[in-house]
Structure 1
Amino acid sequence: MMASTFVPRRFFPAIDSIPRTYFLGHHKAALERMKNMLSTIDHVIECRDFRIPATSINPLFEEALGEKSRWIIYTKRDLGGDLRLENQKREKMIQRWNRGSKVFFASQFNNNTIVPIVKSLKRHPFNIHKITGVRILVVGMPNVGKSSLINALRKYAMKRKNKVARTGADPGVTRRVGTGIKIIERSRGSVYVHDTPGVFVPYMPDSESMLKLGICGCLKHSIIPIITLADYLLYQINLHKPSIYAKYSPPTNDIVHFLEAFAAKTGSLAKGGIPNIDIAADKMIRMFQNGKLGTFIMDDILSVTLQLKEERLAAMGGSLNQAKKAEKLEKKGSNSDIVQTEVETYRRVDY
């Protein structure tokens, strides 16, 4: 008798009991502090998690930070898959989301991806005559890698190994807007960055987005039941590569069966050698967050890209010709200096 072929779940049910926000008091206070600092800020760097490039966008930054020049850095690039052609195409689509902003991809465990960012910072036409130096605000959702990015920038540009921005596996390590941290030293116009607390959105429209943010570490595990988070992670792994957990369990859609097998193999046991599935679930999620249980993007990049195209077309009155003309003008204005700084490491996007 032939073994049955494993069929992963094709959808994950909506769960009404999951909270739709993690917008805390210190998030609101930090956002107000950022607004008050805008007159002294020259530039904004917004960090987003490459594994959830759409879900980790916070519209509050668009509203609060106004017309300040901004770069978008997708962090944890190495946790979102390898550099196969399929993933390269996804990168190009993601770059097209951010009209008028430079886009970079930074890896958690590969500091070479910091080089183009530092080079662009050094070449950017900031006002270097300011007595206080160039001031950059680093913003993003909770735990998307802002502090780690600052440490990596300083380490490469200043050749300093000590960490100056506190980091941690859980959100909430940075609780207030920090003082300036020097990342580029010059006789005039040294560059300083300000670390900021992660700011959550006031409301998420669907439970699946909260689950994605939960397993990527953007909210505390206590907000959503840990078994529910693990179940959603199992669902995502099965869609991408169920063989990744072959040493722990046969392919399965049953989270309890998986966690019992996983607990036995990883020593996540209670007294008497009984599998502790809560501890196993937490360990499973943290392994994924460190790239040890699959690396992939959870957002549907193609759907988001098509949606943005439709919205931009509608904004142009439904005229495809007008939209194309606007794209060409935008390309000339925003991409004129990209070639010098990014061609060495990144593919340039042609709209």
Structure 2
Amino acid sequence: MVLTHIPIPSLPIPPSWFPGHMMKFTRMLPALLTRTDVVLEIRDSRLPLTSINRTLEGALQKWRLERGWDPNNTNRRIVNTGACERIIVLNKRDLVPEWGMEPFRQAMAKKFPDQQMLFASWQRPRDIRNLSELLVNIAKRHPHAMELNVLVIGMPNVGKSTLLNALRNMGIKGRTPKAFQTSAQPGLTQALSTRLKVSLDPLVYAFDSPGVMLPFLGRGMEGAERGVKLALIAGIKEGLYDMEALASYLLYRLNVLNPNSPAYLRLLPEGAVPTIDLHDFLEQLARRMGMIKRGAEPDTARAAVYFVRWWREEGGLIAAASSPLHFAESTVSELGHGPTQGWGFDFQWQLGPDDRPTNQGDEARIVQAKMEACIDDHLATVEREENEELNVSPTQVKKQQVAEEKMRRKQKHLKR
């Protein structure tokens, strides 16, 4: 059975979670960049677009311009007075299917030619070695500099501290104690770290930074979906979301990732088929796991908690191991398109009648084209939200209005 119509569930209004230490770091960033040579931005491979923190983009662009990069050509540097590189690391690569990585890398290279991008997982020594060599090579290109300073930034719980610990162990020979504390819960790192040496020759130092969430996740369906995605990867403080809401979106997303054989089927009784009905799914799961309340009723609330935690601990690996829905086998439904397909939590498209590869390599090119369209949609949404101020909370709007009114009164008073 293949699900050809997978409707997105209704989602709750996203909560606001922007503690004071996040605001403090956001204000500190421009000053920190003056002594930074490389910005290492960590994103989650499952959310390569949603885990972009656009509130930091202004400071990063200003930093590049001040270091001599051409504002009209992002690949050209007018004045080269030292290292100034931005590297995007898609962490937790083992939680997304391998088949989409190269098409994604190619799609992002076309849209953001000024950004170096690589996939990594702290559990894969080769990935850590590649990242270490990349930083060392940047340092060697600037032999006049005494050291290379790397600032690590990203949203909460994308794995910054864990990746840095692995990088230190790779770059410093011998036994090295774990430098940073790590946690599955977001928000453990609340201040800029002391310098961590990650290479001896040449000298490379790294600074870990607090994970910074968006001050406001947005309005409407875009904001609601953005919040649920971040909550599912544990990027938002536990308890701000109802687990059944997360389970509802997770069921939808796993169906998109593999509408033929979703990863959750192994949790259900033998012979179960894919479903879009959350209540039916949670009832089956509760009975299968023996989660029964008084009166022989299945405990669906407990099942929802189990489902989300199963996915975080092992279900993501199972989902990533699945192969793509084969393009050549796609059939057009009554809705005028073939099955829905997805990669990670940010990419989703429908297979059309023309999406059938005829030559070797066609499938990768089709996937890349689909991803480019998704990236264009994402950028258009971000631009629309900024133009219409949909990314600003009502509280922020009110504070801005109060500040503007105070300024008007002050200017009026000065004119007297």
The two structures share one fold, judged by TM-score above 0.5: yes
CA shift digits 1:4-44 (9 cap, x unpaired): x46365231453x4225432222111222333322222221
1:117 Cα offset (Å): 1.0
Are residues 1:247 and 2:242 paired?
Answer: no
Question: Does the C-alpha gap of structure 1 residues 284 and 43 become closer, same or farther in structure 2, counting only changes over 3 Å?
Answer: same
1:198 Cα offset (Å): 0.7
Question: Does the C-alpha gap of structure 1 residues 110 and 264 become closer, same or farther in structure 2, counting only changes over 3 Å?
Answer: farther
Per the alignment, residue 91 of structure 1 pairs with: 105
1:203 Cα offset (Å): 2.2
Question: Does the C-alpha gap of structure 1 residues 307 and 239 become closer, same or farther in structure 2, counting only changes over 3 Å?
Answer: closer
Per the alignment, residue 192 of structure 1 pairs with: 205
Per the alignment, residue 70 of structure 2 pairs with: none
Cα contact 2:33–2:63 (8 A) shared by 1: no
Are residues 1:134 and 2:148 paired?
Answer: yes
> What SS class does the counterpart of residue 152 from structure 1 fall into?
helix
Per the alignment, residue 27 of structure 1 pairs with: 22
Cα contact 1:157–1:184 (8 A) shared by 2: yes
> What SS class does the counterpart of residue 40 from structure 2 fall into?
strand
257, 262, 279: which one aligns with 1:256: 279
86, 100, 103: which one aligns with 1:70: 86
Cα contact 2:122–2:128 (8 A) shared by 1: no
Cα contact 1:9–1:235 (8 A) shared by 2: no
Are residues 1:107 and 2:177 paired?
Answer: no
Question: Does the C-alpha gap of structure 1 residues 39 and 163 become closer, same or farther in structure 2, counting only changes over 3 Å?
Answer: same
Q: Distance in 2 between matches of 1:111 and 1:130?
A: 28
Larger Rg: 2
Q: Distance in 1 between matches of 2:143 and 2:195?
A: 16
Are residues 1:177 and 2:192 paired?
Answer: yes
> What SS class does the counterpart of residue 183 from structure 1 fall into?
strand
Are residues 1:46 and 2:65 paired?
Answer: no
Percent sequence identity over matched residues? 30
Question: Does the C-alpha gap of structure 1 residues 269 and 147 become closer, same or farther in structure 2, counting only changes over 3 Å?
Answer: farther
Which one-letter code corresponds to 1:98 in the other structure?
F
Q: Distance in 1 between matches of 2:372 and 2:125?
A: 29
1:246 Cα offset (Å): 2.1
CA shift digits 1:163-215 (9 cap, x unpaired): 212211121111111111111113xx521111111101122232111111111
Per the alignment, residue 183 of structure 2 pairs with: 168
What TM-score do you get using the length of structure 1 for normalisation?
0.76
Which one-letter code corresponds to 1:190 in the other structure?
L
Cα contact 1:21–1:200 (8 A) shared by 2: no
Cα contact 2:6–2:255 (8 A) shared by 1: no
1:89 Cα offset (Å): 1.5
What TM-score do you get using the length of structure 2 for normalisation?
0.65
- Structure 1: unaligned runs, 5 residues or longer: 312-351
1:62 Cα offset (Å): 1.3
Which one-letter code corresponds to 1:237 in the other structure?
L
Q: Distance in 2 between matches of 1:101 and 1:211?
A: 27
1:128 Cα offset (Å): 5.4
Question: Does the C-alpha gap of structure 1 residues 308 and 227 become closer, same or farther in structure 2, counting only changes over 3 Å?
Answer: closer
Q: Distance in 1 between matches of 2:291 and 2:192?
A: 38
Question: Does the C-alpha gap of structure 1 residues 268 and 154 become closer, same or farther in structure 2, counting only changes over 3 Å?
Answer: farther
Per the alignment, residue 250 of structure 2 pairs with: 233
Q: Distance in 2 between matches of 1:174 and 1:145?
A: 11
1:158 Cα offset (Å): 1.4
Q: Distance in 2 between matches of 1:111 and 1:34?
A: 31
1:268 Cα offset (Å): 5.4
Cα contact 1:58–1:201 (8 A) shared by 2: yes
> What SS class does the counterpart of residue 8 from structure 2 fall into?
coil
> How many residues are paired up?
301
Are residues 1:303 and 2:373 paired?
Answer: yes
1:113 Cα offset (Å): 1.2
Q: How does 1:52-63 map to 2 (within 5 A)?
A: 52-63=47-58
Cα contact 1:79–1:291 (8 A) shared by 2: no
1:273 Cα offset (Å): 8.1
> What SS class does the counterpart of residue 205 from structure 2 fall into?
strand
1, 8, 12: which one aligns with 2:8: 12
Deviates more, 1:166-175 or 1:103-112: 103-112
Per the alignment, residue 146 of structure 1 pairs with: 160
Which one-letter code corresponds to 2:45 in the other structure?
F
1:292 Cα offset (Å): 2.5
1:284 Cα offset (Å): 2.1
Q: Distance in 2 between matches of 1:236 and 1:198?
A: 25
